[in-house]
Amino acid sequence: MDREANISVTKAEFRVRMIARRRSIPEKSRMDSSAAIADHLVSLPEVILAHHIHLYLSMTRQAEVCTEFLVERLTAMAKKISVPVIRDGLLYSALFHQGDAVVQAPFGQPEPAELTLADESHLDVVLLPLLAFDDQGYRLGYGKGHYDRFLRRLSEQKVNPFRIGLSFFTQKVETVPVDIWDEPLDAVVHEHGIIRYFSSDF
């Protein structure tokens, strides 16, 4: 088995373990931690100065960091919000406002019921879900590669938003298995604080 196949198997096993770890967190603890993550997130200079922020609408069944707190906080800060939608295997940003109706998309994620694509050239911050993160700034996603392709497409268009993973601290691991196409994060926000990986103007 070659290295690429080995990494794929390792990632698949890793995902099973990390999903189980996240689902083992009691619901009240997840909600309390999600609220704390929102508090830390909105204190970041990159977020305070941002105009347009892309965030995911959390999936309760996956026990993700709940982003309802963030939608509320960012709306109060008058930020433009967009959320991911998948079309023809590619991830795009669609405008979202607090209270907008949503529907369940094929992968289970909520999407706006009425779709208006956003101007991605103005994205300042992208908030990403993850199953695990490490000390080098790499994340383990769900295995579809949507965010990696999305971030690469933005970069090719000279659009470089600040990339922040949202995570519970228990999802931190020593090393995430990495493929050559995996895109690193600039920071992770967890319930205990903020981890920065790369130099910043702040």
pTM over 0.95: no
CA dihedral 98, 100, 104, 109 (to 10 degrees): -20
Q: What does the alpha-carbon distance between residue 84 and residue 94 come to, in Å, rounded to a whole number?
A: 6
Inter-residue contact 166 to 65 (CB < 8 Å): yes
Q: What number of helices (H) and strands (E) belong to the chain?
A: 5, 11
User: Which structural domain range is residue 151 located in?
Assistant: 3-196
Q: Per the domain annotation, does 202 fall within a domain?
A: no
The domain tally of the chain equals 1
Q: What is the pLDDT along the chain (202 residues), one digit of tens a residue?
A: 333 333 444 788 889 999 999 999 999 999 999 999 999 999 999 999 999 999 999 998 899 999 999 999 999 999 999 999 998 889 999 999 999 999 988 777 899 999 999 999 999 999 999 999 999 999 998 877 789 999 999 999 999 999 999 999 999 998 888 878 888 999 999 999 999 997 555 5
Q: Per the domain annotation, does 201 fall within a domain?
A: no
**CATH code for position 174:** 3.40.50.10420
User: What length does the chain have?
Assistant: 202
Place of tokens 């940003």: 93
Q: Per the domain annotation, does 19 fall within a domain?
A: yes
Q: Per the domain annotation, does 80 fall within a domain?
A: yes
